[in-house]
Amino acid sequence: MERLWAPWRMEFILNEKPSYCIFCLDAAQSEVAEKERLVLYRDTHSFVMLNRYPYTTGHLLVSPYRHVCTLQDLTSDEMVQLFENVRLACGITTKALSPEGYNIGINLGKIAGAGVADHLHIHIVPRWVGDANFMTVIADVRVVPEGLSATYEKFLPFFQEVSRTAES
């Protein structure tokens, strides 16, 4: 029998869910806290973070800072920047991981599958041929072949370069 190791899933299963919104970030967070929260990039109205419980390697989340739950609640500036950062995140993911495609989606409301229904966020899920194999179909198990810290470290230099370019 072959064993599949996904130790981060047990943390999700056993731990209490946070009492705070995972998308409400403190503007004065330190770099250590950024890494702990898996934040890769901050812009004026939105930010990009790695999903702690990914569907595949490189599953990113793009969210506005403001705690809103519908597209209608976003200002025009927030909407534009949110989707600019989706485009940015896809471009960086292409450079870092070379996926063959993407699923990009917004789950609006708990009934639509939103894990955090009251703070809008966009999922960017890189896809490769064969990434949804028999394990997903038969065993209802998803194999994520790379640990979060390794994926974070792959992405970080690309996002840091964008930040440095924006500052100059």
CATH number at residue 90: 3.30.428.10
- Catalytic residue ranges: 121
Q: Average pLDDT, stretch 91-114?
A: 92
Q: Which residues sit opposite 154 in a β-bridge?
A: none
Q: Looking at the 3D structure of the chain, how many domains does it have? A: 1
Nearest to 155 by CA among 110, 91, 112, 109: 91
Paired tokens of 111:
């009934």
Confidence label for 50 from pLDDT (cuts 50, 70 and 90): very high
Q: What percent of the chain has pLDDT over 70?
A: 76
Average pLDDT over residues 25-51: 85
Model pTM? 0.82
Residue appearing with tokens 């870092």:
96
Task: Answer whether residue 156 is part of any domain.
Answer: no
For the chain, the C-alpha Rg in angstroms (whole number) is 16
